[in-house]
Amino acid sequence: MYLIAKQPYVKVERIVRSIEQINIEHERTMYLYNEKIVTEHREFHIKDVMDMSYRIVGGKGGLLYLHTSNGVYSYTVKSSPNRFIEEFKNHIKA
């Protein structure tokens, strides 16, 4: 197994208290290997990932979607994941 690409993403934790809401951002990384895609808490076998897409949200960053055989998973990104998506598509073509 070898690393092909990696993509930073953010997990936002919202804490609601009686008079305030606090957002805590956890910086994480998604890894594309030749056999699987790995996030902080999930692993997707490469054959189970059918596609990836990206939607810009608010002009700064957006959502990276993994379309899998078990559903669609979204990840918040602060930078464009276009290179990561391109590497994935090139890998599954090969």
Domain positions in the chain are 3-93
Q: What is the pLDDT of residues 44-75, one digit of tens each?
A: 999 999 999 999 998 788 999 999 999 999 99
Q: Where are the beta strands (DSSP E) in 1-94?
A: 3-16, 21-33, 36-38, 43-45, 49-56, 62-68, 71-77
| Number of residues that this document lists for the chain | 94
pTM summary value: 0.89
User: By the 8 A CB rule, do 7 and 78 touch?
Assistant: no
At the second CATH level, the architecture of 3-93 is Roll (2.30)
Look at residue 94 in the predicted model and tell me its pLDDT: 76
Residue 57 C-alpha from the chain's centroid: 14
**Residue 12 structure tokens:** 């936002």
Q: Is 82 helix (H, G, I), strand (E, B) or coil?
A: helix
CA angle 62, 84, 31 (to 5 degrees): 100
